[in-house]
Amino acid sequence: MSKQELLFFFSAFLFCSGLLIAVTKKNAIVVLMGIELMLNAANLNLALFNFQKRGMDGQLLALFIIIVAVCEAAVGIAIILKSYHFYHSSVLDQISDLKEKN
């Protein structure tokens, strides 16, 4: 198993763990962390591609992803704060307004 292969597997693992965190955790901030993890997994992949090939495309793409991730994190935290104020909880279980009423 070469270094690249290992990193690919690692990034896949990272993505899946991020997903698992995002799916299983009840606390909104931890969910946000999971999402950050997934993004980082993608970044890792991009960096890896950049390493394999000539040019700066992968790096720059990763850079933009980081920017977007920052925005997402900032806005996400703001929303979480807001919803905490609204529901007095940051537990996603209790925030189920999307469900159709029956």
Partner 1 sequence: MTTAANSYILWLTLAVLGLPLMASLSCFSIKQKVGWLAPLLSSILLLIASILASILFFQIGSEYEVSFSWVWFNLNQKEIALSILLDSKASIMMLIVTIVSFLVHVYSIGYMAEDYHQARYFGMLAFFTFAMIGLVMGSNLLIIFIFWELVGVSSYRLIAHDQEKETAIKAATKAFLLNKIGDIGFLIGLIILWSWSGTLEVADPNLISIPPFWLATAGVCMFIGVISKSAQFPLFNWLPDAMEGPTPVSALIHAATMVAAGAYLLVRIAILFTEDVLILIAITGAITTLAGAVGALFQFDIKKILAYSTISQLGLIVMAMGGGAVQGGYFHLLHHAFFKAGLFLGAGAIIHALHQVNQQSNMDVQDIRNMGGLRKKLPITFISFMICAAALSGIPFTSGYVSKEFILTQMTMWAGNEFSWRWIVMSCTWAVTFLTPIYTFRLVWFIFYRKPQHEHNIEEVPIIMRIPLIVLAVGSLAMLSSLSPFHISSVINVLQQSYPSTNTIISFVSIALILISSAAAFYIYKNQDAKNQKLVTPQYYLDAVSNYFSLLTLKLSEATRWFDKRIDFLIHGISYFQITVAHITGWADRYLVDGVVDGIAYSAKGVGAVTRSLANGKIQSYLLWAMAGLVIFIVWILY
Partner 2 sequence: MMQEVILYLFIGFSIMSVLVILLNRNVFYSALALLTCLISLSGIYGLLQAEFLAVTQLLIYAGGVLVLMIFGIMLTNRIAGKSFESKSHNWIPGILVTTSLLVVLVITFQNSSIKATQNELNTGNHIRNVGIELMSTYAAPFEVSGVLLLVCLIGAALTASSFKKSSHE
Distances (CA, A) of 47 to 34, 44, 91: 20, 5, 34
Q: Contact region for partner 1 (CB under 8 A) — 5-13, 60-68, 78-86, 90-98?
A: 90-98
Q: Is the separation of the CB atoms in 83 and 90 below 8 Å?
A: yes
Q: Of 6-14, 45-53, 57-65, 89-97, which segment contacts partner 1 by CB under 8 A?
A: 89-97
**With binding defined as CB under 8 A, does residue 87 bind partner 2?**
no
Residues 2 and 10 sit within 8 Å (Cβ to Cβ): no
Instruction: Confirm or reject binding of residue 42 to partner 2 (CB under 8 A).
Output: no
Question: How far is CA 31 from each of CA 1, 12, 34, 59, 93, rounded to the nearest angstrom?
Answer: 32, 18, 5, 26, 12
Q: Choose the one of partner 2, partner 1, none that binds residue 90, judging by a C-beta under 5 to 8 angstroms depending on kind.
A: partner 2
Asked whether position 52 contacts partner 1 by CB under 8 A, the answer is no
Euclidean distance between CA atoms 13 and 35, whole angstroms? 14
Binding site for partner 2 (CB under 8 A): 2-10, 12-21, 23-30, 32-34, 36-37, 40, 43-44, 47-54, 56, 58-60, 62-64, 66-71, 73-75, 77-82, 84-85, 90-91, 93
